[in-house]
Structure 1
Amino acid sequence: MITQIFAISSSLIAGIISFKKAKQAHPENGTVILEYSQLRFVSDNIQLQGEISPKSYIFANYVVLRLEGFYQSHWLIISAASVEDLYFSRLKRAVIAVQQPT
């Protein structure tokens, strides 16, 4: 009985932490400024700036960005529905350019 309560409570805590991290990585609104491989994201809650890492991923309707800053790195998820098609394709091209070997 105690083991079950412990397992449920630890799962609940892990779920809350995961939800907060996912919510932070996928903001609802904000401004993306793209300059070559540098990206700046500004919203009401967070401000991120860094270089797009080759660890970034492109999916059909999402771009999962790994931004590497001076001393930290952050994940940022941008959906196609939240930006115009032209800007989303530019963002995908920037990720592909970073992933290409030099």
Structure 2
Amino acid sequence: MFLDAALAMLFCVIINAIAAYIVWRKILAIHPIQGVIILEPKLFRFEGETLKVQGEITQKSRFYGNSIWLHIKGFSEHHWLIISANGVNAQSYARLKRATLNAINCALESK
């Protein structure tokens, strides 16, 4: 495919840099810096400067270390949202974790 090994390495570096940039932009989009979370019995709302998400927490939500990866089923589309434990106070994080566990358990019980 390539006649020169240096050209192949340069091509790989450029492609990897582009892929890393795209992944970094996606992660920044789902990991907001600031915002307000509103938890209601069957509704989750997040409002930030650039992102507004509303819907239900689904069973695809997960816990990884000190963060919660929320999968929100909106009215017309699905969203991922990452909330870090060090980004909110301990009581708010516990409430969010409890709501996520409740959503996961209710979805599993309904099957």
Is 1:37–1:94's contact at 8 Å kept on the other side of the alignment?
Answer: no
Q: Which residue in the other structure is 1:63 paired with?
A: 68
- C-alpha displacement at 1:10, in angstroms? 1.0
- C-alpha displacement at 1:84, in angstroms? 1.7
Specify every segment of 5 or more residues in structure 2 that has no aligned partner in the other structure, as ranges.
1-5
In structure 2, C-alpha distance between the alignment counterparts of 1:36 and 1:92, rounded to whole Å: 14
Query: Match for 1:74: what amino acid?
Result: H
- State yes or no: 1:76 paired with 2:76: no
Superposition RMSD on alpha carbons, in Å?
Answer: 1.3
Within the candidate set 79, 94, 97, 1:92 is matched to 97
Q: How many residues align?
A: 102
Higher RCO structure (Cα 8 Å, ≥6 apart): 1
In structure 2, C-alpha distance between the alignment counterparts of 1:37 and 1:6, rounded to whole Å: 49
Query: Match for 1:35: what amino acid?
Result: E
Question: For each residue in 1:4-35, what CA deviation from the matched residue of structure 2 results, as whole angstroms up to 9, or x when unmatched?
Answer: 22211111110000000111111111000111
- C-alpha displacement at 1:2, in angstroms? 2.9
Q: Where do residues 15-94 of structure 1 align in structure 2 (5 Å cutoff)? A: 15-94=20-99
Query: Match for 1:91: what amino acid?
Result: L
- C-alpha displacement at 1:59, in angstroms? 3.2
User: What TM-score results when the alignment is normalised by the length of structure 2?
Assistant: 0.84
Task: Return 55-64 or 16-25, whichever deviates more.
Answer: 55-64
- State yes or no: 1:4 paired with 2:4: no
In structure 2, C-alpha distance between the alignment counterparts of 1:37 and 1:60, rounded to whole Å: 25
Question: For each residue in 1:71-90, what CA deviation from the matched residue of structure 2 results, as whole angstroms up to 9, or x when unmatched?
Answer: 21111111111212111111
Is 1:63–1:92's contact at 8 Å kept on the other side of the alignment?
Answer: yes
In structure 2, C-alpha distance between the alignment counterparts of 1:77 and 1:26, rounded to whole Å: 5
